[in-house]
Structure 1
């Protein structure tokens, strides 16, 4: 059975922080692979600045193509929107069955609000959660602190954000070092975020 960590996000765009965390999870935990689950629309975010799904998928593909343990996933593209994580997990179980064991990957900042997620108790009962550190995480709900299904991974702290990259790029600032080279080329050729 393959153990797969699901790293959810809009990846608008994917950047070196995403890549470093996913690679760390794949190399330094018991996960066999990490799948970047590209979210068409988060229930907590507006869709205004999102690039089309296929462009974000292409950027993730470009970023991970040389990393055999990292994969892009379009699984949520065909699910009803706005979608919730529990629906994606049910869909993955139906599609992949007994061959895969799925786990969630999230930052400490997301764990802080995890009790607001739809069916979070069901998720916690059936899936493990791998948490990476964030400087700006704030106080985590007490019931999640020493939960047996939640594992804190001592991953690098990456405080780069896609929002920062989009704004800086639009302002004409050089954000190239914050992106995998192939993502930068795609973004630049397509003239995104200007």
Structure 2
């Protein structure tokens, strides 16, 4: 079973990686994305320009190193904080399930896709219910630093998009890292019923 689970992770991450590259090549041109960072060498600081792959690799190493030093909630918080430094997405998995956030715009956009069938449809309503429990409401306006004309703050809204038999729920957590961390654990425990097993986190 562990071997099958290992291959499942690899396939799931590969599919998401391919989806990310195609989407961002077409929509955002992020193949050539660069990162400007301050790096300390001895007693001096240097301004260094890094390509996206090298930048992500360093962030991933930091997240992996922190894994054994904290509980699950702190581990997720740490990973989300670092993902917001310049990564495009973060995937948090346990067992055969995963939770993902888009982070490329400097905010946490929870992304949940579900097929409209008997197997996955219950997850759709449960996710909406869980968002409602933390005071999120449906809002079709694009998030901004300002309240929408409905008076709802953008970091407490979600939107639903449909394409064929796929529904996508996007929850705008903005920079609410503690709330996003608790929400992620609740999705695993209360919706996916995945209470055992180690968390795996990947950024891209």
Instruction: Compare CA radii of gyration and give the structure with the larger one.
Output: 2
Higher relative contact order (CA 8 A, sep 6+): 1
Tell whether the structures are fold-level matches, with TM greater than 0.5.
no
TM-score interval (norm. to shorter): under 0.3
Q: Please state which structure has a larger fraction of its residues in strand.
A: 2
Give the alignment's TM-score, normalised by structure 2: 0.26
